[in-house]
Chains A and B, each alone.
Chain A
Amino acid sequence: MNPSVTILELAVLALGLALLLIDLWTAAERKRFLGYGAAAALGLVLAYSFVRFGGGDPQYAFGGSYVMDGMALFFKRFFLLAAIIVLLISVEFSDRILAGVSEYYALIVFALSGMMFAASANDFTMLFVSVELVTVTFYVLTSFQRSRLPSLEAGIKYLILGALSTAFTIYGIALVFGTSGTMKFGELANLHGTLTGNNLFLAGLLLVVIGLGFKIAAFPVQIWAPDVYQGSPAPTAAFLAVGSKATGFVLLLRVLFSAVPEVTAQWTQLLIMMSAVTILYGNLCAIPQRNVKRLLGYSSIAHAGYLLLGIAAMAGNVRDTSVGGSAVLYYLTGYLFSVLAAFTVITLVLRRIEVEDISGLAGLGQGSPLLAAVMTLAMVSLAGIPPLAGFFGKFLLVKSALEQGSQNHAYYWLVGIAVAGVVISIWYYFGVIRAIYWSRDPVDLSPIAISLPIRLALYVCIAGMLLLGLFPNPMLDTTQKAAKALERVQATAIANH
């Protein structure tokens, strides 16, 4: 047991508690600025993560249920960056929160700590506890605008469906434990697929995958996403889209490829199907949407599908997952910058109008060229067109899937569906660009004031999208190192055999 390994999480938790305390001594009109303080503090934690942790052997805590390896470190930094930008958006959003601004910030920070624990989960207990920490805080975050009916509706929907998925997960964990006698990923890997024929064990794993599928909004548990994105406050939706989805993916990666690679190899067709249906569902349903947040909700389903495509490609060759794994991580990083840029613009632009219709963006091209440009870049990046991050991510994902195609032709069909999905998505993403630059009746041409921190956040997002698209080398090195961690767990399992 080495508690200092968890120093990052402890710092974040302490920050959350500190926010709640400082709130008591802060005047009401100054409370919103606590968000800047929180963001700055997280920035320090992020910087410290570079000082304290580097490469080297993985470190364990809590009796091996917590692991600090390349993958964990990558995702912790990912979540920290996401939370910093989300906090900055929240400050802009705070005038729409009636009471409890500091609590809103604190809940974001608590959710962040859950995500960071999830990044390090090395057994099912840690997985469950960290997921619950994230989900329960999100129950509150989604319904934070208490006076707004859609927000409450979003909260209820997320609560009921989230509870259902929790039930799936816990039941699945129980079955896995009952059949295998262990909770630890490492020990499961040591079983070397002796349980691949055990239907109860497989049913348990399937239930866990479905529970995690809820977090990433993948078919068949994607129904909640559009409603919740539409109803919940914009910063919450942004954090759901980036943080919560990435939590699901890091856990999925760990379960599928560290704990039970043999089962995953069996499930290739299932993963391909899941990915294909998710891509089609998200993209097709996004076509008629008029509400920007709802549109992004469906688009987030589609992106879950593309990411699942990478996971399906990894399943084709579970012994060498670094290529597919690094593609997934790269895509997630590009997605972070693009989606956060989009939500920042939405928060700023749709401040005055109650309806969040796409037409609300009309005239942005004349009124605020910077915001218009950022939104355009975000849409282009999400659509996956060069020279932005989304393109290189999609390129890596498609390449990793095609690589497996010679063994299993289903991958060719999957890539075909992904291409169809991308073409469909260009239709609705470019619809947003059209609304920005040449819709018929601009509502409001007045420029929108952009505060300095938000301007910085926008620049970070632009830089992220451009750098990941134009100079992929450094990030690719990082993601490859992180993805190697999965192989290491397998290697230890083989060594123990």
Chain B
Amino acid sequence: MLTAIICVPLLTAMVLALIPRNFRFLFRLGALTATFITMVLAGVIFWHFDAGLAGYQFETIRPWVNDLAIAYHVGVDGLNVGLLFMGAIVAFAATCVSWEIKTSGKGFYILLLLMIGGIFGAFASLDLFFFYFFHELALVPTFIMIGLWGRGANKNYAAFNLTLYLSLGALIALIGLIGIYLQMPAGERTFSIPRITEYFQSQPMALSAQRWIFPLLMFGFGILVALWPFHTWAPLGYSAAPTATAMLHAGVLKKFGLYGLIRVALPLMPDGAKHWFFVLGILCFGNIIHSGWVAMRQRDLNLLIGNSSVAHMGFVFLGIASFNLIGITGAVLVMVAHGFLAALSFGLSGYIHQQTGTLRMDDLGGLLHRLPFIGAALLMAALAGCGLPGFANFPGELLVLFGAWKGMPVMGFAIAAAWGALIIAALYMLRAVRNVLHGPMPDRWLLVPDATSWRKLPFALLLAALIGFGIFPRVLTERIKPSIETIVNAAVPNMQTVSR
């Protein structure tokens, strides 16, 4: 079933590649069908996922390179089942909003589907090699999509900036992953994550190796998540990217680095993690405060959203650095919630850009008159971004703060900063709402149309998810918690008491 989720987009992309480009309608239809099917499948998996069972579910294993013990191995546990479901919803929404693509739609939809397939593969893989492989699969489509269908004078610079940063991060992480592989004795080497975890639980990795490999993963994966000060690619790249690409990347693909940290780095190298978490704590302070500060000064709606999403990543880092059950559960919850939120924000700003041709907040204003639906949705996204109760972000951020408080009292300043950042976020979000939606409306926006019923669909879907998981966070936490518990307990058996 997981294989189907990965293969449906990839196979559709291949089929679409064979259709002559005159049949524009078919490409959109094909992409929508494929992403809709994957969304339904991901929903079924999410629903049938049994939180009470230990280990992985919906597993498939196929040997791939026997000499290196690489296997195609997919499966879900509490950690990635929510992320996959979120990814599938965002992917469908992103395909829906792609009506804005007018030129060479064939190429766009093929690349979009390749990117989506890569995303699902990366989050479903339980083999280090494929885990990396699928993530990189999404890189080239992202580059071409930004360059070819992107907007703004800066798009060329942004495309290269994003690609180079992401490749650098991925390569550093790859060195770390191979390093883990080589830490095992020659006969037992494998790329299978469950087996590696098992091995290092019985024989913990040498301390010196942990201290060298953990930073490779921390910075490698960190760059992929826009860890301060390696974050500059994110706001630039997202503001230049076409809407669908920004939604998918900011919403889903960016979470890959965080997922990798929780899935691979923490359980295998707990001592290395303890050694380096102080640095991570300080850097996520940079994410939260510095990027929040930068976001305040933005005059462009997309750059603002981009910077605020970098700031949100700081919360997740903080949760991971707290290294206890509450903090990491909160971190995963924020990852899922932020996926919906980032996709919603970029989708809405994309709609506004499509209709008005600008995202400069000085030029916009009073749009709530003309765009009741889009405006209301943007308002809700802004409120969710401030961490208002009722949206999925709230429980996540709350758990992260609790976890951080419990886990590392020494880092009190970072936690205080996180509280402060919520206020900063409220400030810039509400200011953006005022500039874009309220106030006098320039005459040239008199004819801007609101979204028609079909075009409301993606936004309604994302909002529903955001509110649904905000009201019933249990649906997520009860799935996430057991898996995080095994990770935390496996890594630090004596940590158990702290987390209770």
Bound form: Cα–Cα A376–B143 in Å: 12
Cβ contacts B127-157/A at 8 Å (1 or 0 each): 0010011101101100110011000000010
Cβ contacts A33-48/B at 8 Å (1 or 0 each): 0000000000000000
- Residues on A with C-beta less than 8 A from B182 are 399, 402-403, 406
Q: Are B167's CB and A473's CB within 8 A? A: no
Question: Shortest CB–CB separation between residue A428 and chain B, in angstroms?
Answer: 10
Q: Are A423's CB and B139's CB within 8 A? A: no
Q: Are A427's CB and B164's CB within 8 A? A: yes
A402-B182, A437-B147 given as contacts; is B163 within 8 A of A430 (CB)?
yes
Bound form: Cα–Cα A37–B420 in Å: 76
Q: Are A391's CB and B136's CB within 8 A? A: yes
Q: Are B136's CB and A385's CB within 8 A? A: yes
Q: Are A473's CB and B175's CB within 8 A? A: no
- Residues on A with C-beta less than 8 A from B179 are 402
Q: Are A427's CB and B67's CB within 8 A? A: no
A260 part of interface (Cβ distance < 8 Å): no
Bound form: Cα–Cα A480–B66 in Å: 13
**A440, closest chain B residue (CB):** B156
Bound form: Cα–Cα A402–B189 in Å: 14
Q: Are A402's CB and B175's CB within 8 A? A: yes
Bound form: Cα–Cα A136–B107 in Å: 46
Main secondary structure of the interface of B (DSSP, over half): helix
Q: Are A402's CB and B66's CB within 8 A? A: no
Partner of A419, one of B107, B163, B164, B171: B171
Q: Are A386's CB and B137's CB within 8 A? A: yes
Q: Are B164's CB and A473's CB within 8 A? A: no
B172 part of interface (Cβ distance < 8 Å): yes
Partner of B143, one of A395, A415, A423, A433: A433
Bound form: Cα–Cα A299–B179 in Å: 27
Q: Are A399's CB and B168's CB within 8 A? A: no
B65 part of interface (Cβ distance < 8 Å): yes
- Residues on A with C-beta less than 8 A from B144 are 376, 433, 437
A426 part of interface (Cβ distance < 8 Å): yes
Size class of the contact patch on chain A: 20 to 34
Within 8 A of A (CB), among B182-238: 182
Cβ contacts A17-37/B at 8 Å (1 or 0 each): 000000000000000000000
Q: Are A434's CB and B65's CB within 8 A? A: no
A380 part of interface (Cβ distance < 8 Å): yes
A472 part of interface (Cβ distance < 8 Å): yes
A386-B133, A398-B178, A427-B164 given as contacts; is B65 within 8 A of A472 (CB)?
yes
**A434, closest chain B residue (CB):** B147
Bound form: Cα–Cα A27–B140 in Å: 48
Q: Are A473's CB and B148's CB within 8 A? A: no
Within 8 A of B (CB), among A56-102: none
Scoring B66, B171, B175, B179 by chain A CB atoms within 10 A of each residue's CB, the highest score goes to B171
Within 8 A of A (CB), among B96-148: 104, 107, 129, 132-134, 136-137, 139-140, 143-144, 147-148
Partner of A430, one of B107, B148, B160, B171: B160
A489 part of interface (Cβ distance < 8 Å): no
- Residues on A with C-beta less than 8 A from B164 are 423, 426-427
Q: Are A480's CB and B67's CB within 8 A? A: yes
- Residues on B with C-beta less than 8 A from A427 are 160, 164
- Residues on A with C-beta less than 8 A from B413 are none
**B155, closest chain A residue (CB):** A438
Bound form: Cα–Cα A365–B164 in Å: 23
Bound form: Cα–Cα A419–B160 in Å: 17
**A379, closest chain B residue (CB):** B140
Question: Shortest CB–CB separation between residue B109 and chain A, in angstroms?
Answer: 14
Q: Are A380's CB and B171's CB within 8 A? A: no
B174 part of interface (Cβ distance < 8 Å): yes
Question: Shortest CB–CB separation between residue B315 and chain A, in angstroms?
Answer: 29
Question: Shortest CB–CB separation between residue B299 and chain A, in angstroms?
Answer: 26
Question: Shortest CB–CB separation between residue A483 and chain B, in angstroms?
Answer: 12
B47 part of interface (Cβ distance < 8 Å): no
- Residues on B with C-beta less than 8 A from A472 are 65
Q: Are A419's CB and B172's CB within 8 A? A: yes
B472 part of interface (Cβ distance < 8 Å): no
Partner of A398, one of B66, B104, B140, B174: B174
Bound form: Cα–Cα A302–B139 in Å: 22
B64 part of interface (Cβ distance < 8 Å): yes
Q: Are A423's CB and B167's CB within 8 A? A: yes
- Residues on A with C-beta less than 8 A from B67 are 476, 480
- Residues on B with C-beta less than 8 A from A473 are 64-66
- Residues on B with C-beta less than 8 A from A423 are 164, 167-168, 171
Question: Shortest CB–CB separation between residue B11 and chain A, in angstroms?
Answer: 14
Q: Are A398's CB and B160's CB within 8 A? A: no
Partner of A437, one of B133, B148, B167, B168: B148
A402-B182, A427-B160, A427-B164 given as contacts; is B133 within 8 A of A387 (CB)?
yes
- Residues on A with C-beta less than 8 A from B65 are 472-473, 476
Q: Are A438's CB and B148's CB within 8 A? A: yes
Cβ contacts A369-380/B at 8 Å (1 or 0 each): 000000010001
Q: Are A426's CB and B167's CB within 8 A? A: yes
Partner of B178, one of A380, A399, A434: A399
Bound form: Cα–Cα A398–B132 in Å: 15
Bound form: Cα–Cα A480–B65 in Å: 13
Question: Shortest CB–CB separation between residue B7 and chain A, in angstroms?
Answer: 13
Within 8 A of B (CB), among A327-367: 365-366
Partner of B156, one of A365, A422, A434: A434
Cβ contacts A430-454/B at 8 Å (1 or 0 each): 1001100110000000000000000
Bound form: Cα–Cα A434–B143 in Å: 9
**A425, closest chain B residue (CB):** B167
- Residues on B with C-beta less than 8 A from A376 are 140, 144
Cβ contacts B375-405/A at 8 Å (1 or 0 each): 0000000000000000000000000000000
- Residues on A with C-beta less than 8 A from B107 are 365
**A388, closest chain B residue (CB):** B140
Question: Shortest CB–CB separation between residue B496 and chain A, in angstroms?
Answer: 34
Bound form: Cα–Cα A437–B164 in Å: 18
- Residues on A with C-beta less than 8 A from B134 are 386
**A471, closest chain B residue (CB):** B64
Bound form: Cα–Cα A415–B175 in Å: 8
Bound form: Cα–Cα A371–B494 in Å: 60
Bound form: Cα–Cα A365–B68 in Å: 38
Identify the 10 closest CB pairs spanning chains A and B, nearest first.
A386-B136, A419-B171, A386-B133, A423-B168, A438-B147, A438-B148, A437-B148, A426-B167, A399-B178, A402-B178
In the assembled complex, 28 residue pairs joining A and B whose CB atoms fall closer than 8 Å, in A order, are A365-B107, A365-B148, A376-B140, A376-B144, A386-B134, A386-B136, A391-B133, A398-B175, A399-B68, A402-B175, A402-B178, A402-B182, A419-B171, A419-B172, A423-B167, A423-B168, A423-B171, A426-B163, A426-B164, A427-B164, A433-B144, A433-B147, A437-B148, A438-B148, A472-B65, A473-B66, A476-B65, A476-B67
If A376-B144, A391-B133, A395-B129 are given as contacts, then 15 extra A-B residue pairs at C-beta distance below 8 Å, sorted by A number, are A365-B148, A380-B140, A385-B140, A386-B134, A387-B133, A387-B137, A395-B174, A398-B174, A399-B182, A419-B172, A423-B164, A423-B167, A430-B143, A430-B163, A476-B65
Q: Which positions in A face B, CB cutoff 8 Å? A: 365-366, 376, 380, 385-387, 391, 395, 398-399, 402-403, 406, 415, 419, 422-423, 426-427, 430, 433-434, 437-438, 472-473, 476, 480
